[in-house]
A and B are shown apart, each in its own frame.
Chain A
Amino acid sequence: MKKVAIITLLGLMFVRAAFAVDISAPNFAKANAAYRDGKYDEAIADYEAILTSGFESGAIYYNLGNSYFKKQELGKAVLNYERAKRLLPRDPDVAANTQFALSEVQNDVQRPLNAWERLWEGHIKFYSVNEMALILLIFLVLFGAAHLATLYLHWKAGRLAMCAVAVLFFIFGYGLQAKLADEYNAAVAVRSSAARFEPNEKATVYFELPEGQRCQVQEREGGWAKIVRPDGKTGWVDAGSVEGI
């Protein structure tokens, strides 16, 4: 009975995924054809339609980013590349196009990182959220198995293995937490706007947020969003000028 329930559950999940591919793939191919023909508006509409239907993939975001880039909409291009990176963190095409698009951003502000920060950022950006979650589960199982093996089988290296797995578990656990926090607040300016000291039009302009600039959204109030630039400078911008990743 239990086996039947598990098989049914897995079967339902598979059917759901297969169904998603089934309905998305033709639209994806149609959008790609439009892109090849240089009909970028049409391609954008088709890619967006797939996303609106509730499904996503790294390739959809990547191709959508390309379409926006071809239309010189740098902000939306960077936004979709960043979304693609969320799902395809190690894809070389996504990385190359993101870097190229960012190189086109006027006055792109980046915070200089020290060696540890670079290492940490490299770690959390190497994996997707799902991969990190799966790795954490594997570490959890390994930890439990090593523990039980130590108890029941008197495995001599069990405690050492447990320590190693625990360290890795915490590294990945903390990494996953940081990644989730980063992705939750991460945003990209889809159009240039003035960042002000206060959320009103008469407030003094602190700095200009260029189209394509990555930032973090701290809070939203009315039609305003409080953003933090990578160098730590904060300002209020029109909420419509930034979109979350």
Chain B
Amino acid sequence: MLQLVLRSFLFFVLLSAGPLSQPVLAEDISVEASVNTTTVELGSSLRLTITVTGADAPPIQFPKIDGLEIRYLGPSTKISVINGKMSRSTGLMFTVIPLKTGQFQIPSITLPLSGKNYSTDPVAITVVDSGSSGSKPVHPGGSGGGDTSALQDKIFVVLSTAKKEAYLNEPIPVEIKLFINELAVKNVQYPSLSTDGFRLEPFAEPERRQQVMGGISYQVLNFKTFLYPTRAGDLTLGPAKLGANIVIASSPRRGMPGDIGSIFDDDVFDEFMGRFETKTVMLESAGIGIKVLPLPEEGKPASFSGGVGKYNFEMSVSPSEVKVGDPVTVRMRVAGDGNLKAVEMPAFKESKDLKVYDPKVTEQDGEKTLEQVVIPKNDAVRELPVVEFSYFDTSEGKYFTVSKGPFPLTVTPLAKGEEAKVVGMLASSGPIFRDQPEELGKDIHFIKDEIGPVQRRGATLLRQGGFIVGIILFFLAWLGLFVNYLFRQRLTTDHRLARRLQAPRQAKAGLSQAAAFLEKNDARNFCDTLVRTLQEYFGNKFHVPQNTVTVALIASHMKNNNDKVLEDLRQVFSECELVRFASAQITVEKMKAHLQKAQETIDFFERNVK
């Protein structure tokens, strides 16, 4: 639907643009006479069309022709746009009815258009008896379209070349034209061409136009390309083959003679609507002989690389001032009408002064370009040398050489410590360039000679007892030290605990001292030491000042009073007090007994009182 709207819109635009473009069209005025067939049976008719292009068609009056009757049918207008150029033509159609057999000629008609006279070519026609025609006219809706030979006047292929003689590699324009006369043709294939000894370029999009040939107007599809001879000698080009589908009317179904059949066998709509079918035809042109001349050896320059035709050669170099190791870009361009594929670009080669990279060569739009990076290896390079490009000019029949350069180049050395930009070039070791990446072989490394550390299979350190025991021992040691630290820390703050823990140790020392005085029979000091030791012990034990220690205080800290212990203590304290303050006498046995009691009392309290 959208397509229909667009087409309608285009048609409207073309129609409305028609009158505006009249002055332009007036420059391309032409008049042509054409028939749909040049052979017609007596009793049939043919169609004559006078086509006026670029101007309005005036009325035409044909002279009377003996044996032919010409009747005017009416006009038809056609507007076409080809390659953006619009043209309008008017066809004045006539029907020509032969009245007798023989050769006839429709005479030239002269028409005054835009102040000038334009004439048609005469058209010769042949009228034959009914049933003797060699080529049956075929037209859409007609019959008998199945035989290709019957179509040869309606659709055929013509192969042509611009020249029949050419040099090796010289481009030869080729045209393959498909002529179509009053046939509905679709799915036209690109032609194939037998090209032994030639190289064929791909065909361009075909051009469409109208062409009158032999008095008959044809729709022409023109396939154009170029051909390059690849060997010398007398060669044959073609034939060209081209496939297409033609749409023809199928024969209406008829009963066989003697077959009565049913009235329902006839399809009424076949007659009324017509039935069409598509037929594939393979068309073939005649071949063409082409003489291919070899390129002359005489005067062939050393720089000739296969270019045949006319060429322009341009070259540029940039930058012209570089440091050692910096890239210089060389650009070349070859353009012309010759065979560019056969042209080898004159790229720079590696030398002791120049490092060159592979050139990048591209070909498009009728020109071939080269871009190549060239790197001066040292500062002795002063210029890029002359580059020559040679080609063979076929029109002149001789070789030509175009020279470019030399191109001056200023190369400065690298500063001390400066690295060259090019990979592989070391400033310190001079201009060294890396070649292509080295291809290294690949395989497994050789076996090991030493067995290395051997262990039980699957035996890891984690499963070995020694490792685990070591971890546990370390942990315990750390834990011990840590706890010890914590305990020490507590003693510094908890004085009650510190004194309590200190009490037995201090008492032990005191009792030892008292025992020493006992040995010396020093009763006074013995009693002093014994009483002080007991007071210190109980003072530390109960976290009270030692001078406040009495038997009553001690008894108050005992949950279950042990009378014997308290009585022993009381005796020790009282008798020692008498010795200390009243200078009473005391026997050695008594002192030993007091020492023993003091020891037992301390042991008792250590065991039973926390």
Contact = CB atoms under 8 A, between A and B. Distances in A.
Interface of A: 9-10, 13, 17, 20-21, 24-25, 28, 32, 35, 51, 54-60, 62-63, 66-67, 69, 87-88, 93, 96-97, 100-101, 129-130, 133-134, 137, 140-141, 144, 147-148, 151-152
A148 B481 contact: yes
15 contacts: A20-B454, A51-B457, A59-B452, A63-B448, A93-B446, A93-B448, A97-B444, A100-B442, A130-B460, A130-B461, A133-B460, A133-B467, A137-B467, A148-B481, A151-B485
B455 A20 contact: yes
Nearest to A81: B444
A93 B452 CA distance: 14
Contact of A100 (B443, B453, B460): B443
B338 to A, nearest CB: 49
B6 to A, nearest CB: 50
A244 to B, nearest CB: 11
B478 A148 contact: yes
A59 B445 CA distance: 12
A13 B471 contact: no
A69 B455 CA distance: 25
A96 B481 contact: no
A207 B35 CA distance: 73
A100 B444 contact: yes
A147 B471 CA distance: 16
Contact of A66 (B444, B451, B460, B467): B444
Contacts of B460: 129-130, 133
B467 A58 contact: no
Contact of A63 (B447, B466, B485): B447
Interface in B407-463: 442-458, 460-462
Given A25-B451, A88-B452, A101 B444 contact: yes
Contact of B450 (A59, A67, A69, A96): A59
Contacts of A9: 466
Contacts of B112: none
B62 interface: no
A35 to B, nearest CB: 5
Contact of A55 (B446, B448, B450, B456): B456
A129 B461 CA distance: 8
B482 interface: yes
Contacts of A60: 451
Given A9-B466, A56-B457, A134-B461, A21 B447 contact: no
Given A129-B461, A148-B478, A151-B482, A57 B451 contact: yes
B474 interface: yes
Contacts of A137: 467, 470-471
A159 B2 CA distance: 82
A65 to B, nearest CB: 8
Nearest to A92: B445
Contacts of A88: 452
A54 B462 CA distance: 18
A177 to B, nearest CB: 11
Contacts of B448: 59, 62-63, 93
Nearest to B470: A137
A63 to B, nearest CB: 4
B462 A35 contact: no
A195 to B, nearest CB: 28
B263 to A, nearest CB: 63
A2 to B, nearest CB: 11
Nearest to B471: A137
Contacts of A101: 444
Contacts of B461: 129-130, 133-134
Contacts of B456: 20, 54-56
A133 B470 CA distance: 12
Interface string B263-279: 00000000000000000
Contacts of A17: 453-455
Given A17-B453, A56-B455, A137-B467, 16 more contacts: A20-B455, A35-B447, A51-B457, A55-B456, A55-B457, A57-B455, A58-B452, A59-B451, A66-B444, A93-B446, A100-B443, A129-B462, A134-B461, A141-B474, A144-B475, A152-B481
Contacts of A87: 452-453
A138 to B, nearest CB: 11
A32 B447 contact: yes
Nearest to B460: A129
Nearest to A145: B478
A147 B455 contact: no
Given A55-B456, A133-B467, A140-B471, A21 B481 contact: no
B471 to A, nearest CB: 6
B452 to A, nearest CB: 4
A97 B445 contact: yes
A25 B450 CA distance: 8
A218 B442 CA distance: 35
B452 A147 contact: no
B445 A147 contact: no
Contacts of B454: 17, 20-21, 24, 55-57
A58 B448 CA distance: 10
Nearest to A9: B466
A137 B452 CA distance: 24
Nearest to B477: A144
A67 B447 CA distance: 9
Contact of B455 (A25, A55, A93): A55
Interface centre among B460, B466, B470 (most CB of A within 10 A): B460
Contacts of B452: 57-59, 87-88
A144 B478 contact: yes
Contacts of B478: 144, 147-148
A100 B461 CA distance: 31
B129 to A, nearest CB: 80
A54 B457 contact: yes
A237 B456 CA distance: 30
Nearest to A100: B444
B488 to A, nearest CB: 9
A96 B447 CA distance: 12
